[in-house]
Structure 1
């Protein structure tokens, strides 16, 4: 059954969508509004009006504004995590040649720049959310950053030979730097191209990490 078939009002009857299609549409509308107006300044009425659906249809998909917000955040987080997974895959797949470690760092940095390039202001839903007063909400909002840090720490622990606690600190620093540079570029890029920003941040990060690679790391060309 479509939303239009069990909703009332001419607006609902005018647009027939399958449930999955309608959910995607609502998420896209909510993403745009939350990222430009902020959680507290957007109402379910605003979202229903922009999506041209009745409120019963909206509530059928998302019981509350917070549920909708978190669904949007989860979707954005999955996009970022997918980019990070692609970046660290070469090292985990192995073997990696000498000098290729810098390219992996660059891929991680590029993942964050590419994310904000596509997501625009909606990236702030992950980086600068205005819904962090509740601990449970904060955990959900920060989930993507935490997972990205964990995945990068996995790689760093293997490459540097450091214990997990040290790897977690290093990964957190890498993520914070990449995220900060991405946000800066989005807000105040001053004409800098994405590739130039990636190059600069990679130079900064790799110069430090290169000295931490364990002496016996098994390179593919050794």
Structure 2
């Protein structure tokens, strides 16, 4: 009786195994310290096979960044429906963001820290994803501002109603930049702090940011003279 032949895994499955191993090692030890020998061993494949599929350590790292960025973007967008109020969209998006980064801490480390320290072209890939998030959040802020301003524009506020000025687009972009930056820092802190849940992290940021945005959208903007 001949030897039983084991079924070979499809290329796509092997590539995911390599990427899984690479993300773990890059996230835990850093790009420079992680070796291709270790990645191959953890993936359960030979080192030549890693090079055959993914060409080089640089290409492997780039593939990790693209996979983790795509997974994070899809996780956030899957929880945000266009028919939701803007405030709810932001809340659900933040919850999805913190849930994903908590469930994939090595992937978040690769995106948030390792990619930036290795320079181009890795930093540019992460910057493109970040810009997409900022544009997304800016549109939510503008939509919320329009929703708040609409009753005043219609004159539905009754006697003593206040005029709520329109929020300039560049200001919404600046607020979105600040919010995304805060979310990034908070995700790193939450992952390093035992007992902090994704729900708690999202609520912390909503309480910090959305309360202030609510005042701004009601025309109660802070200014140095007021202080």
- The interval holding the TM-score normalised by the smaller chain is 0.7 to 0.9
Counterpart in 2 of 1:158? Answer: 143
CA contact (8 A) 2:90 2:137 kept: no
Counterpart in 1 of 2:133? Answer: 148
The correspondence for 2:196, drawn from 181, 192, 209, is 192
> Structure 2-normalised TM-score?
0.75
Shift of 1:114: 0.4
Q: Aligned pair 1:110/2:74, yes or no?
A: no
Higher Cα radius of gyration: 2
CA RMSD of aligned residues (A): 2.4
Query: What is the aligned length?
Result: 195
Q: Aligned pair 1:181/2:183, yes or no?
A: no
CA contact (8 A) 2:167 2:217 kept: no
SS at match of 1:32: helix
Counterpart in 2 of 1:36? Answer: 28
Counterpart in 1 of 2:207? Answer: 203
Shift of 1:178: 1.6
Question: Where do residues 38-117 of structure 1 align in structure 2 (5 Å cutoff)?
Answer: 38-87=30-79, 89-90=80-81, 93-94=82-83, 96=84, 100-117=85-102
Shift of 1:48: 1.6
Q: Could you report, residue by residue, the CA deviation over 1:149-200 in whole angstroms, capped at 9, with x for unpaired residues?
A: 12212322333353432222111111111222221111024x2333233222
Give the whole-Å Cα distance in 2 for the aligned partners of 1:74 and 1:185: 23
Give the whole-Å Cα distance in 2 for the aligned partners of 1:47 and 1:14: 23
Structure 1: gaps spanning 5 or more residues: 1-12, 216-222
Shift of 1:15: 7.2
